[in-house]
Structure 1
Amino acid sequence: MATKNKTNETEVSVTDFIESYVENEQKKADTYRLVELMQEWSGFEPRMWGPTIIGFGSYHYKYASGHEGDAPILGFSPRKPEFSLYVYSPTEESQELVKDFGKFKMGKACIYVKKLSDINIDILEKLARISIAYTNEHYECGCRIK
C-alpha cells in the first residue's frame, strides 16, 4: 500500500511563520531575501509546506515502491542551526556548480548553509533554475517553463 507524504501544503501564512519562528534578525533578513529570490526564479507565490518549509510551486512524484505525493518545486527551511535549501537536482551541471557555491554541507536532497553571505547567490539561482527544469522534465507538475 502506498504511504502518504507527511509534508503537505498548508494554509499557514508564510509571513506569520517567519515572524514567529525565526528569532535571529540576520536569519530573518536572509529568510525574506530567499523568499524574494525563489519567488522571482520560480514564478510562484511562497506557501508553507508542513510546519517549517517555505515552498514555491508543486509537483507530483511517484516512486517504484508505490510511495507518492506532492512536494514544492523549490523550497527552503530556516531551521535554527542552518538553512535547508531544496534546490538541488542530480545533474552533472549541478555537481559542477556546487564546487564554486561557497560554504555549505550537502545532504541527500538538500544543501545546508548557515547564512546567505556564505554562498554565491548567482550559483544558487543557476541551481534553482536547473532544478525547475529537471522537475519539469521528470515529473507531473505545474512548473512548465514560461
Structure 2
Amino acid sequence: MKIYHHTVRFSTNAQFQLIDVTRMVEEAVAKSGVLNGIVLIHAPHATAAIILNEHEEGLINDILDKLRDLTEPGSRKWRHNMIDDNAHAHIGSAIIGAERIIPVINGRIARGTWQNIFFVEMDGPRSNREVVITVMGE
C-alpha cells in the first residue's frame, strides 16, 4: 500500500470564507500514484472545517450566512469569548468536522459533479492556514 502526504498552505482574508481546495487535492492524488484507495483531507485547526459542496457564488454566501446564524459570532453567551473572541469558530469546527474522506477510483477522486472540496474559515483573516492531504491505496 502506498501512503502519500502533502500539505498546502494559504492565507484567508475574511472572518468567514470558503476556500476551494479541489484542484490542490486532485493534484496531490495525481502525484501520489495511487490508483484505488482513499484521500483524507484534514484542516489541522480548531477553528476551521472541511466540506464538500457546489462552487456557486450564491450558495457559498448562503453557507457562510447560515454558519454566522448558527454559530453567533460575538455572542456574549459563549464563555470561551472571555478568553478569546472566537468561540463561534470552535463550535462551527466541532459541528462540521475538520476532515473528509473521499474514495480514489482509477486515479481520480470520486466526487459528484457538483461537489467541490472547501476549507471553511471561521476565524479569519489568517496568514497561515493549512490543509493536510493524505492519499492511501494501491
TM-score by length of structure 1 reads 0.26
Q: Which protein has the bigger strand share?
A: 2
- Which is richer in helix? 1
Which structure has the higher relative contact order (CA within 8 Å, separation 6+)?
2
Q: Which has the larger radius of gyration?
A: 2
